[in-house]
Amino acid sequence: MKVQMFTDYYIKEVNKIPEKFEKIYEISKSWVKFSGKELHKPSHNPYSDLEYYRQAGGDFKIFPCYDNKIGISWEGSDDIYIFEVTDLFFDDFDKYLEGVFERVEENNKKQAEKFQEYLKHTKELEKQREQEQYQEFLRLKKIYEPKVWILNKGN
């Protein structure tokens, strides 16, 4: 590949990054986390740094990373951001995006299962408390009902 061809290719791919980041970021907005009591949208997820891609003003750097990944970096107003992607990001973005969607869905399913388990456990505890209260009621009834009956009989 000649230098000009490489440069043209590089510029063309860098110019596609904002649109691709926007699509990934939109999917990632549905990421949820179980906090121990509820499901919520966390302030950070594996894609949340993409919120700041607009600060790059189109000035992205692409470089090789470990494990055959590709790094995309940009300078924000207060930090330098690096987002790692696989070669699918450039070669078959639709397939890459499908993987992002699946990862978000898989996470949300796991978090929802944790939440359902919490709800089930909470209902079981509530049922147990109600049963304990009912047993206490029966115990007190046994103690005090005869006295009320005797007091009422005296009328």
Per-residue pLDDT of 103-129, as tens digits, reads 999 999 999 999 999 999 999 888 889
Tokens of 103: 């990862």
Rounded Cα distance, 42 and 51, in Å: 13
Q: Which residues pair with 82 in a beta bridge?
A: 73
- pLDDT over 80 (residue 37): yes
Confidence of residue 152 (pLDDT cuts 50, 70, 90): low
* Mean of per-residue pLDDT scores for the chain: 89
Q: What is the pLDDT of residue 87?
A: 94
Q: Dihedral of CA 106/112/118/123: which sign?
A: negative
Confidence of residue 139 (pLDDT cuts 50, 70, 90): confident
Helix or strand holding residue 87 (H, E): none
Closest alpha carbon to 111 in 41, 12, 6, 23: 41
Contact 65, 71 (CB under 8 A): yes
Written as one letter, the residue type at 51 is E
Mean pLDDT of all residues in 31-55: 92
Tokens of 120: 């089930």
Burial class of 75 by CB neighbour count within 10 A (0 to 12, 13 to 18, 19+): middle
Contact 114, 34 (CB under 8 A): yes
The secondary structure of 31-66 as a DSSP string is --EE-SS-EE--S--TTGGGGGGGGGTT--EEEE-G
- pLDDT over 80 (residue 148): no
